[in-house]
Chain A
Amino acid sequence: MTRPLLTLLLAGGQDAHATRRTLDAARLVRARDARWDVVAVTDGPVGAGLRWVHEIDAPGTDTEQLALALAAAEGTWVAVLGADDHLEPGGTEAMISLLTQRPELDIAYTDEQWPADGIEGMFTKPGWVPEYERGTDYLGRLCAVRRELLRSVGGFAPESDGAAEWDAHLRAAERTDRIEHLAVVGLSRAAPPLVDDDTWAAGLRVVERHFARVGQEVTVERGPRPGSARTWRAVAEPPLVSVVVPTGGGRRTVRGEEALLVELCARSLLEATAYDRWELVLVPSEGTDPAVVAAVRDVVGDRLVVAPAPGAFNFSRSVNTGVASARGDLVLLLNDDVEAVEPQWLDRMVSVLQDPAVGAVGAHLVYEAGLIQHAGVVYSDEWIPWHLFQQQVDGHDHFGAGVLDADFTVATGACLLLSRDLFAQVGGLTEDLPLNFNDVDLCHKIVLTGQRIVVTPGARLFHYESSTREAVVLDAEKEHLHRYWSWLAWQDPWVNTRASK
């Protein structure tokens, strides 16, 4: 038989029947000229009698059996197949096709599914988004890893028992960025992945060890979704954050009362922000009532810096003007219609930004009515930036997306933290986009430098969006995006062709 491209590793444990069901299902979908095989390690003989199944009779834990299977594998890539998993028709063909066309790939993974209500069990995954993998093992199955890479990073480590696959995926991903998502359902599990106290604790340890290997000092705690992790990076010396807030003095009704939005914003900085090292750089646009500045000064006192933006309103110029007057190493772009809700929000954003690979951090923004306004920006079917989960009930999540930190190519500039140096390095906000998409352009420029954009739902604020101006997108603004950034839009990891046109 020709050497297989892909070997599936099956740790069957004591359940020979489940292993047989998996092998029988695999036989049904296997083509005669298939370039994949299986190494099945079980506590007792299975007796499948299939020439493409290498059976090993060796009792042990799942991790031990996976390690044995890996040792016996011959495929260029290997992927874990669980007992009672069913390979989906065409899933392996799609995987083999991708690996044949892209032999340089080190990791390739598919969508998967399991029984649940409606679409709750249909895990449609994004492309490679590293921060998401640190919160939950979304690579999951079917995930093909280059065999030599996996062996070189230690394979399935005994100390990772309970979260061995997550551990293997993190170890492998630390060494490569040649990672590709395949928008097909690779397999169906018989049940959702098991999460109990033991496996959850194992997962947290796996994430801790991952960060230790990459040299980041962290504290890992349980995330908001069962089995998930939330990581706090140590902040040795809290840097000064210059909060840059352009304003025209807009007002609207909030919680039933007429309010000066920037005053609400300032008050929330003072009263709902645990992070103490900040200054407020207010950028009043031309024609703003001086009483607005006075109202903000009454709230924040000597933390206020005023940097007026003369001339016709240009949001980009206003922000740039504010950053020019900023004294902090970090700048937080903040709309005047944003109000902090939970005190740890800025601590969270500063913590995430400690990762040297992260260039900018966005927040989770919510409408007053409790619907999501921003959880990350993705490209729509018409290739226009759109907000993931916009108008969904706050707390909505798709297998952790929406409640766990994740990478995007854009986070809204309504609440965006980055270093002043990086802001300058990429030329700030382009004044060619005076109203819309200037934050999209900024974030894309950051991605171009090789740095990542991460949205953290751990920073949750209200956003009374476009309260003070009509939200109209001009053709020239769309044209700007298409002219410079189509190529990046087409690589948006959150565009899954199974779920879009």
Chain B
Amino acid sequence: MLYPASMPVDEEAAAWLTGLRTTDRTLHARLEGEAAAREVSALQDRVVRLQAQVAGLQGAVRVRDELLADQRVAIKERDSRIDTLVSAAGDETWSSRMRHTARSAVAVPRRMVRSARALVR
């Protein structure tokens, strides 16, 4: 296939290249003057997004705290029920072992809560 447009002459190409360099340098010089303001604006936007993420994390911790509080109440009620049943059964040795076992199980979630709180803060 033939392309009828004539090839740009060398002088035109050289002038075009010179124009290109000038445009490039002008553009970068302008950018340099604006860079600080643009960086501040970009960072401010980032801060807003990160603050929103922090709000989200705090919300998640709140929900988890509420769930754990509910679980503690449930465990306390269960301990109380265990005590009642054991007392009714009348075996002191057996009841102290049962209390120890039940309370060991409860201690695990408490340790996790403390660790998790330490991480978030």
Contact between B17 and A320, CB atoms less than 8 A apart = yes
Contact between A90 and B17, CB atoms less than 8 A apart = no
Contacts of A320 in B (CB 8 A): 17, 20
Contacts of B2 in A (CB 8 A): 302
> Is A458 in the interface zone, CB < 8 Å from B?
no
- Looking at the complex, which one of A96, A240, A484 makes contact with B3 (CB distance below 8 Å)? A240
- Looking at the complex, which one of B3, B13, B52 makes contact with A97 (CB distance below 8 Å)? B52
CB-CB nearest in chain B for A303: B1
Q: Please measure, in the bound complex, the distance between the C-alpha atom of A92 and the C-alpha atom of B55, giving whole angstroms.
A: 9
Q: Please measure, in the bound complex, the distance between the C-alpha atom of A327 and the C-alpha atom of B1, giving whole angstroms.
A: 14
Contact between A92 and B17, CB atoms less than 8 A apart = no
CB-CB nearest in chain B for A182: B52
Contacts of A88 in B (CB 8 A): 60
Contacts of B64 in A (CB 8 A): 89
> Is B7 in the interface zone, CB < 8 Å from A?
yes
Total contacts A-B at CB 8 Å: 136
- Looking at the complex, which one of A92, A307, A428 makes contact with B20 (CB distance below 8 Å)? A428
Contact between A93 and B56, CB atoms less than 8 A apart = yes
- Looking at the complex, which one of B22, B25, B49, B63 makes contact with A28 (CB distance below 8 Å)? B63
Minimal beta-carbon separation of B82 from chain A (angstroms): 28
Contacts of B54 in A (CB 8 A): 97
CB-CB nearest in chain B for A489: B42
Size of interface on A: residues with Cβ below 8 Å to B: 50
- Looking at the complex, which one of B24, B32, B59, B62 makes contact with A430 (CB distance below 8 Å)? B24
Contact between A327 and B49, CB atoms less than 8 A apart = no
Contact between B1 and A90, CB atoms less than 8 A apart = no
Within B4-37, which residues are at the interface with A (CB < 8 Å)? Answer: 5, 7-8, 13-14, 16-17, 19-28, 31-32, 35
Contact between B60 and A487, CB atoms less than 8 A apart = no
Q: Please measure, in the bound complex, the distance between the C-alpha atom of A484 and the C-alpha atom of B39, giving whole angstroms.
A: 10
- Bitwise, A165-207 to B at CB < 8 A (1) or not (0) is 0000000000000001011100000000000000000000000
Contact between A92 and B27, CB atoms less than 8 A apart = no
- Looking at the complex, which one of B3, B7, B24 makes contact with A325 (CB distance below 8 Å)? B7
Minimal beta-carbon separation of B118 from chain A (angstroms): 18
> Is A288 in the interface zone, CB < 8 Å from B?
no
CB-CB nearest in chain B for A444: B31
Of A46-54, A231-239, A260-268, A419-427, the stretch lying at the interface with chain B is A419-427
> Is B41 in the interface zone, CB < 8 Å from A?
yes
Q: Please measure, in the bound complex, the distance between the C-alpha atom of A91 and the C-alpha atom of B46, giving whole angstroms.
A: 18
> Is A29 in the interface zone, CB < 8 Å from B?
yes
- Given A327-B5, A425-B23, A490-B42, CB of A484 within 8 Å of CB of B28: yes
> Is B43 in the interface zone, CB < 8 Å from A?
yes
- Bitwise, A20-54 to B at CB < 8 A (1) or not (0) is 00000000110100000000000000000000000
Contact between B17 and A276, CB atoms less than 8 A apart = no
- Looking at the complex, which one of B17, B23, B55 makes contact with A94 (CB distance below 8 Å)? B55
Contact between A427 and B23, CB atoms less than 8 A apart = yes
Minimal beta-carbon separation of A109 from chain B (angstroms): 12
Contact-size category for B = 35 or more
Contacts of A325 in B (CB 8 A): 7-8, 13
> Is A95 in the interface zone, CB < 8 Å from B?
yes
Contact between A93 and B55, CB atoms less than 8 A apart = yes
Within A60-95, which residues are at the interface with B (CB < 8 Å)? Answer: 88-95
Minimal beta-carbon separation of A92 from chain B (angstroms): 7
Contact between A424 and B1, CB atoms less than 8 A apart = no
Minimal beta-carbon separation of A312 from chain B (angstroms): 16
Minimal beta-carbon separation of A428 from chain B (angstroms): 4
CB-CB nearest in chain B for A91: B56
CB-CB nearest in chain A for B19: A424
> Is B38 in the interface zone, CB < 8 Å from A?
yes
Contact between B24 and A184, CB atoms less than 8 A apart = no
> Is B102 in the interface zone, CB < 8 Å from A?
no
- Bitwise, B72-111 to A at CB < 8 A (1) or not (0) is 0000000000000000000000000000000000000000
Contact between B63 and A426, CB atoms less than 8 A apart = no
> Is B71 in the interface zone, CB < 8 Å from A?
no
> Is B48 in the interface zone, CB < 8 Å from A?
yes
Contact between B35 and A426, CB atoms less than 8 A apart = no
> Is A102 in the interface zone, CB < 8 Å from B?
yes
Contact between B59 and A29, CB atoms less than 8 A apart = yes
> Is B57 in the interface zone, CB < 8 Å from A?
yes
Minimal beta-carbon separation of A442 from chain B (angstroms): 9
CB-CB nearest in chain B for A427: B24
Contacts of A93 in B (CB 8 A): 55-56, 58-59
> Is A141 in the interface zone, CB < 8 Å from B?
no
Q: Please measure, in the bound complex, the distance between the C-alpha atom of A430 and the C-alpha atom of B20, giving whole angstroms.
A: 9
- Given A94-B56, A491-B42, CB of A31 within 8 Å of CB of B62: yes
- 16 A/B residue pairs, CB under 8 Å, sorted by A: A90-B59, A92-B59, A93-B59, A94-B53, A98-B48, A101-B48, A101-B52, A324-B16, A427-B23, A427-B26, A427-B27, A430-B24, A445-B27, A484-B32, A484-B35, A487-B35
Other A-B pairs beyond A29-B59, A95-B52, A305-B7, 4, CB < 8 Å: A93-B55, A321-B17, A325-B8, A427-B20
Using CB atoms and an 8 Å cutoff, list the residues of chain B in contact with chain A.
Answer: 1-3, 5, 7-8, 13-14, 16-17, 19-28, 31-32, 35, 38-39, 41-43, 45-46, 48-64, 67
Task: In the A-B complex, list the 3 residue pairs whose CB atoms are closest, starting with the nearest.
Answer: A427-B24, A94-B56, A93-B59
